[in-house]
Amino acid sequence: MPKKQIITIPDDTLRNKSSEIKVFNKDIEKIALDMADTIGSYGNQNEAGVALAAVQIGYPVRLIVLKEDDEYIALANPKIVKKSKTAEEDLEGCMSVPQKYGFVMRPKKVKVSAQNLRGENLILSMDGLMARILQHEIDHLNGILFIDYITDEDKIYTLSKDGTLINKQMKML
């Protein structure tokens, strides 16, 4: 059971734009720790959490936490400043859209400006899976969900109890 309750669709909270963090203090650090604990405790044998936006646990601030190699990275006020022209379609899921997965086209590389929990400026250049995760989480801060990008219902899958992805035509992935 996650440390904090994850807000799921159709809750309108997920559609609101999160506020910029202007004061970096213990409250922001506590939110980041709650997010890391929630990511770490999320999932089962077929699903795992790799990142979270603060809004997903009820904090409408521009903060995301990513899990990479058993370490957590907190990014405040992240903003995509550059995207590659090359894009790639891949499967995404979301803790706020339980047991649903879909194919989403996203740029392969991104450059992101952000701040750490002390308010110091950072620039990150990411590609592959980490670029996809960053884009997904930054979308959350703007009230956008991965399912908003999917116009073809054949590209939406449900997770079965045995961990198989199945779409409505019973096509297995």
Name the residue ranges covered by the structural domains of the chain. Answer: 12-166
Average pLDDT over residues 85-105: 93
Q: Is the pLDDT of residue 53 over 60?
A: yes
User: Residues 41, 96, 30, 116: is their CA dihedral positive or negative?
Assistant: positive
Residue tagged active-site, from 29, 92, 137, 153:
137
Yes or no: say if 47 and 93 are a contact pair by the CB < 8 Å rule.
yes
Give the C-alpha separation, 101 to 123, whole Å.
30
Q: Where are the beta strands (DSSP E) in the chain?
A: 51-53, 63-68, 71-83, 87-94, 97-107, 109-115, 121-127, 156-159, 165-166
Is residue 137 flagged as an active site residue? yes
CATH code reported for the domain at 12-166: 3.90.45.10
Residue pLDDT, tens place only, 107-136: 999 999 999 999 999 999 999 999 999 999
